[in-house]
Structure 1
Amino acid sequence: MLAGERLAEGYHMYKDVVDDTGPLSSGTYWIIHLIFGKSLTAFRILAALVILFQVTYINSLFIRYKSFEENTYIPAAIMVVLFHLSYDFLTLSPALMGSTFILLALGQLFSQTVLQKEGSDSVLLVGVFGGIAACFHFPLVVFLPFLVVSGIIVSGFTFNQFVLALVGYILPIILCGLYYFWIDALPEFIFEYFLATRIIEVYQHVRLEDTIFLFALPVSLAFIGYFVGLWFKQITVNQQKQRQLIFIFLLFAIGSVFLTNRRTPYQWIILLPALTYFINQIFIYLTQKKVLQVFVFVFFLGVPLVGYSWYIFQNSSGRLDSYSVVYQEKHQIANGKKILVLGDDIAYYKEASLGTSYLNSKLSNRILKDFDDFADMAAVYQEFFSEKPDIIFDQEGVFAGLIERVPLLGDLYKKESPGIYLLR
């Protein structure tokens, strides 16, 4: 929301907004702010539409290419339940938007696998969709080797098709780079988006143990579904290729999580198509009614129950406070003002707007703490002097260090209380 609001004011991502949100994601948030303003309801409705598209697309994909002998809507029902595993699956995150284009690329690979097309259109689209996904959410860049491996091993790409898919993949990234080169922000784009995700400190919003608890049940069911498909059903050659494709997809989806700098459940949203495929095999191939009824209850009741109980436990233990934006009475001091928060408590922005380009505090620290670079210090002073945020919330002592190094900032701001500076 803050990135979209800042861009709607006429600023540019990376050049005037220090953050690592993907260029296409930030562009989407910019359009949303232009149309709906700072509306959480709009985010939820749009997220629901994206989820509806994904659910419909994956189900139609399995029907169109006869992934299973029976054409049913069970995969759609399974994926809807999986989306309710965690509440942050239902928000319009870059991971959700990027995974949509990974699904579209997967659909083009399915067409190559099943129909053995020789046309170049679907091969090109495989790369283009993958490149667009990487421009929405950086960790999805890991699907470049997935497209290569699955395209060559499973879909049987020729060398020319491989090159065409690679060109299609690079094209969206090159176009984004060309735009930021045009506005003189290419170095910032390269560092903040492509490099910062592995350089800056990782945000540990959710512990690894909590994530394992959350995904233990659906992953176990997917594991069971995989072996059910192996033992209880003879499948066609095309279906075997699709299974191989989904299995490779699952491996790379897990790998993408290790490129994230925010440890949150929504980063795992890319696993849902593969989990849907394997869990569906339980309900399609098992014929024993009593056993099937057990799995129906375990999945359709167990998965939402796990997600809900996880949320209750996180909230009651206070762990949710490190992840959610908790708006309290103390944050009302910022209402209606332009502010800057140098720290993790960004609830001050709920009824306020961003006063400078330093949105991501950890990324901003590389500039604000670079006291040996006089050019950086001059640029920092110039930005504070031109934008003059009404209040600065210095939660990590960064601004206090700036005032010592740049005394002119002390003439602009007075210390109201520990960690709070007001514009004179």
Structure 2
Amino acid sequence: MLDDHTLTLPELNYMLVGEMLNDGATLYEGIWDNIAPLSASVYMVIDFLFGRSQLAYQVIALILVAFQCLVFNRLLLLNKAYNENTYIPGLVYGLLMSFFFDFLTLTPVLMGTTFLLLALNNIFNHIEFRAKQDEMILNIGLYLGIAYLFYLPNIIFGIAALLVFGIFTGTVARRYVLMLFGFSLPMMLAACYFLLKGRFTSFIYNFLDPLLNYEVEQYMSLQEIFILFSVPILLLILALVRVSQRARFTNYQVRLTQVMFVWIIFSVGFVFLSGVFAPNTFMVFVPSAAFFLSHYLLLIKKRWMAEIAFQVLFVSVILFNLGTFFDFFYSAKLLSYDNYLVQREDGWADKRILVLDYDMAPYINAYPATPFLNWQLSEELFRNPEYYDNLTILERGFSGDIPEVIIDTHDVMSPVFKRLPALKAKYDKRDGNIYYLKKG
């Protein structure tokens, strides 16, 4: 599975962003995309070191998942979330993070989850000790702020933290202000950076606006998602029923279970806020699911029954991940992810091209030209060239980096060419709605 035959369309997008940044393009002005700034920086570094290497993404993701397992298990041990010291939570966390192949690649969701876990550790400490250290409260806000600079929908967990503080702690008003300051500081620093660079308007349009004004990217249907995660969902329901009995729980442990239940609720909000129906989006449920499933396994009195429950989870990982991919389990017939994987197109190898569509597969062996990488953000420009501002942006984009091939899937270049006759004269239209740059 560690090869580019499992390259997904979002992964290709991340690689293109890193490549364009290394070629000197500026984020949000030289690249029209809604990727978060810290994620874009990471992809730029990876492209500088490894180029378009999916293997690099996968290896770094494996290391990051291993680190998250350690962090998750450690925070539960230190905060005495269970009645015994155990490494079961880390094991369950690792299994759940292996449930589908796109969990084990470097996505913004994965990077942001790391900082959500660090924030969760401080939240647990604050609930247990009513911590007086102001820096701990500040760190909660900072970790959450860094998380949404990796993936903007993580911003919803700032609301979750405020809710947890209000319900489960007696935090004074001053510390709420301190946490809000830490939460907003990363955004303020990012905004100041783009303001000083003269790209503040582009920052708002590309990064912030899509949070509420977006089109759903549905790589898999909701029904397919439920089929894929059917076993963890079933076990989670059983775990919630068992944990709700609060068998042998201290008051502190009860509060922790309530906090993790709040996490589940806000994770649902996270999925709908992201607008991306792909398996790795549901990675946000892994910490809460691992927490409750570990409780469930530890509360089963008969160890052989606990072993059976664990083996069911373990075998389901193999069947739904490898079985779906290699087509030896029935899930392969129920799940379709052809629209999620990049279908190789070698017709434009080594050319600089512009794809006016959501399907970015033609870029697989080609190079992106012009800033208009994200069709969702740039579609309005091409469909409304009669507006002066739109036409100015288009003319500037093409003059700075003219593509050798324009793949006009939605037939939007005709009205653009009417208003930019000098640009039209440079192209021949062939093969349907594909324009080729004239030689000479």
Question: 1:232, 1:286 within 8 Å by CA — same for their partners in 2?
Answer: no
- The structure 1 residue matched to 2:69, chosen from 55, 61, 68, is 55
Distance in 2 (CA, whole Å) between partners of 1:370 and 1:190 is 20
Distance in 1 (CA, whole Å) between partners of 2:411 and 2:365 is 24
Distance in 1 (CA, whole Å) between partners of 2:268 and 2:64 is 22
- Relative to the length of structure 2, the TM-score reads 0.92
Matched, 1:340 2:390: no
- The structure 2 residue matched to 1:110, chosen from 124, 130, 135, is 124
Amino acid at match of 2:361: A
- The structure 1 residue matched to 2:408, chosen from 370, 382, 394, is 394
Question: Mean alpha-carbon deviation: is it higher for 386-395 or for 53-62?
Answer: 386-395
Give 3-state SS (helix, strand or coil) of 1:259's partner.
Answer: helix
- Aligned residue in 2 for 1:14: 28
Structure 2: gaps of 5 or more residues: 1-14
Identical aligned pairs, as a percentage?
29
Change (3 A) 1:406 1:144: same
Question: 2:236, 2:289 within 8 Å by CA — same for their partners in 1?
Answer: yes
Matched, 1:149 2:166: no
Amino acid at match of 2:343: V
Superposition pairs of residues 151-230 of structure 1, within 5 angstroms? 151-230=165-244
- Aligned residue in 2 for 1:403: 417
Question: 2:370, 2:400 within 8 Å by CA — same for their partners in 1?
Answer: no
- The structure 1 residue matched to 2:340, chosen from 323, 328, 351, is 323
Distance in 2 (CA, whole Å) between partners of 1:21 and 1:277 is 30
Question: 2:142, 2:183 within 8 Å by CA — same for their partners in 1?
Answer: yes
Distance in 2 (CA, whole Å) between partners of 1:296 and 1:316 is 26
Give 3-state SS (helix, strand or coil) of 1:334's partner.
Answer: coil
User: 1:326: Cα distance to partner?
Assistant: 1.2
Question: Mean alpha-carbon deviation: is it higher for 25-34 or for 371-380?
Answer: 371-380
Any idea what the Cα deviations from partners look like across 1:135-177, whole Å, max 9, x if unmatched?
1111111111101011222233210110000000000011111
- Aligned residue in 1 for 2:55: 41
Over aligned residue pairs, what C-alpha RMSD do you find? 1.7
- Aligned residue in 2 for 1:27: 41
Give 3-state SS (helix, strand or coil) of 2:370's partner.
Answer: coil
Matched, 1:283 2:297: yes
Give 3-state SS (helix, strand or coil) of 1:333's partner.
Answer: coil
Distance in 2 (CA, whole Å) between partners of 1:202 and 1:314 is 24
User: 1:318: Cα distance to partner?
Assistant: 8.6
Any idea what the Cα deviations from partners look like across 1:198-228, whole Å, max 9, x if unmatched?
3232211110100111222212212212232
- Aligned residue in 1 for 2:7: none
Question: Mean alpha-carbon deviation: is it higher for 45-54 or for 212-221?
Answer: 212-221
Give 3-state SS (helix, strand or coil) of 2:347's partner.
Answer: helix
Structure 1: gaps of 5 or more residues: none
Change (3 A) 1:401 1:308: farther
Question: Mean alpha-carbon deviation: is it higher for 301-310 or for 146-155?
Answer: 301-310
Amino acid at match of 2:412: V
Give 3-state SS (helix, strand or coil) of 1:77's partner.
Answer: helix
User: 1:317: Cα distance to partner?
Assistant: 7.2
Query: Size of the alignment, in residue pairs?
Result: 421
Question: 1:223, 1:278 within 8 Å by CA — same for their partners in 2?
Answer: no
Matched, 1:356 2:373: no
Matched, 1:274 2:288: yes
Matched, 1:415 2:429: yes
Question: 1:47, 1:90 within 8 Å by CA — same for their partners in 2?
Answer: yes
- The structure 2 residue matched to 1:379, chosen from 384, 388, 393, is 393
Amino acid at match of 1:286: I
User: 1:314: Cα distance to partner?
Assistant: 7.5
Any idea what the Cα deviations from partners look like across 1:222-269, whole Å, max 9, x if unmatched?
221223233372111221221111111111111111111321111111
Question: 2:324, 2:335 within 8 Å by CA — same for their partners in 1?
Answer: no
Give 3-state SS (helix, strand or coil) of 2:277's partner.
Answer: coil
